[in-house]
Amino acid sequence: NVIGQDSDIMHIVHVTAEMAPIAKVGGLGDVVTGLARACLHRGHRVEVMLPFYECLQKEQINDLTLSDTYLSYHNGDWVSTRAYRGHVTGIPVILIEPANQFFKGQRVYGGSYNELEAYLFFSRACLELMQVTATQPDIIHVHEWQTSALSLLYWDMYHKLSVKKPRLILTIHNMEHYGECRQEQLNICGLDGSVCSTIDKALDDRTIGHNPERLSLLKGGIVYSNAVTTVSPTYVKETLCSGWLSNTLMQYCEKYVGILNGIDTVLWDPATDVFLPAHFQAHEIEGKQICKQYVQRGLGLDSNLLTVGKNSTSKGNDSPLVVCITRLVAQKGLHLIRYAINRVAELGGKFILLGTAPDGRVQEEFEYLSNQCKESNNVRLLLTYSEELSHMLYAAADIVLVPSMYEPCGLAQMIGMRYGAVPIVRRTGGLADTVFDVDHDQSHADQPNGFVFEGIDEGSLNGALERAFQYYNEKPQLWMELVSKIMRIDNSWEKSAGEYINLYNSVRVR
Using CB under 6 A as the binding rule, whether residue 30 contacts ligand ADP is answered as yes
DSSP label of 347: T
Using CB under 6 A as the binding rule, whether residue 325 contacts ligand ADP is answered as yes
Binder among 386, 460, 473, 505 for ligand ADP (CB under 6 A): 386
In angstroms, the CA 426 to CA 141 distance is: 30
**C-beta of 27 vs 166, nearer to ligand ADP:** 27
Using CB under 6 A as the binding rule, whether residue 275 contacts ligand ADP is answered as no
**C-beta of 196 vs 425, nearer to ligand ADP:** 425
Q: How far is the CB of 406 from ligand ADP (least distance, A)?
A: 10
In angstroms, the CA 34 to CA 57 distance is: 18
Q: How far is the CB of 292 from ligand ADP (least distance, A)?
A: 18
Binder among 142, 153, 412, 422 for ligand ADP (CB under 6 A): 412
**C-beta of 20 vs 344, nearer to ligand ADP:** 20
Contact 210, 204 (CB under 8 A): yes
Number of residues that bind ligand ADP (CB under 6 A): 19
Q: How far is the CB of 158 from ligand ADP (least distance, A)?
A: 30
Which residues does 295 contact at the CB level (< 8 Å), separation at least 6? 301, 321, 352, 392, 393, 395, 396
Using CB under 6 A as the binding rule, whether residue 327 contacts ligand ADP is answered as yes
Which residues does 421 contact at the CB level (< 8 Å), separation at least 6? 323, 394, 397, 398, 399, 400
**Dihedral, CA of residue 358, residue 363, residue 365 and residue 370, to nearest 10:** 150
Residue (of 228, 404, 213) closest to 327 by Cα position: 404
Q: How far is the CB of 3 from ligand ADP (least distance, A)?
A: 27
**C-beta of 287 vs 410, nearer to ligand ADP:** 410
Stretch that binds ligand ADP, among 270-278, 319-327, 339-347, 437-445 (CB under 6 A): 319-327
Stretch that binds ligand ADP, among 26-34, 49-57, 248-256, 372-380 (CB under 6 A): 26-34
Q: How far is the CB of 30 from ligand ADP (least distance, A)?
A: 5
Using CB under 6 A as the binding rule, whether residue 385 contacts ligand ADP is answered as yes
Q: Could you give the 3-state DSSP secondary structure of residue 94?
A: strand
The CA-based angle 179-182-186, given to 5 degrees, is: 80
Write the interaction track for ligand ADP spanning residues 332-371; mark x where CB under 6 A is met and - where it is not.
Answer: ----------------------xxx---------------
Residue 272 dihedral angles phi and psi, to the nearest 5°: -135, -5
Stretch that binds ligand ADP, among 119-127, 161-169, 344-352, 410-418 (CB under 6 A): 410-418
Q: Could you give the 3-state DSSP secondary structure of residue 219?
A: helix
Binder among 13, 27, 123, 229 for ligand ADP (CB under 6 A): 27
DSSP label of 382: E
The CA-based angle 412-417-420, given to 5 degrees, is: 125
- Near ligand ADP in 445-464, by CB under 6 A: none
Which helix (H) or strand (E) is 413 found in, with range? Answer: helix 412-418
Stretch that binds ligand ADP, among 112-120, 271-279, 384-392, 443-451 (CB under 6 A): 384-392
Residue 403 preceded by cis peptide, ω within 30: no
Which helix (H) or strand (E) is 119 found in, with range? Answer: helix 115-132
Using CB under 6 A as the binding rule, whether residue 32 contacts ligand ADP is answered as no
- Closest CB to ligand ADP: residue number: 27
Using CB under 6 A as the binding rule, whether residue 387 contacts ligand ADP is answered as yes
**C-beta of 25 vs 456, nearer to ligand ADP:** 25
Q: How far is the CB of 91 from ligand ADP (least distance, A)?
A: 17
Which residues does 365 contact at the CB level (< 8 Å), separation at least 6? none
Residue (of 177, 121, 109, 115) closest to 149 by Cα position: 121
Which residues contact ligand ADP (rule: CB under 6 A)? 26-28, 30, 325-327, 354-356, 385-387, 390, 409-412, 415
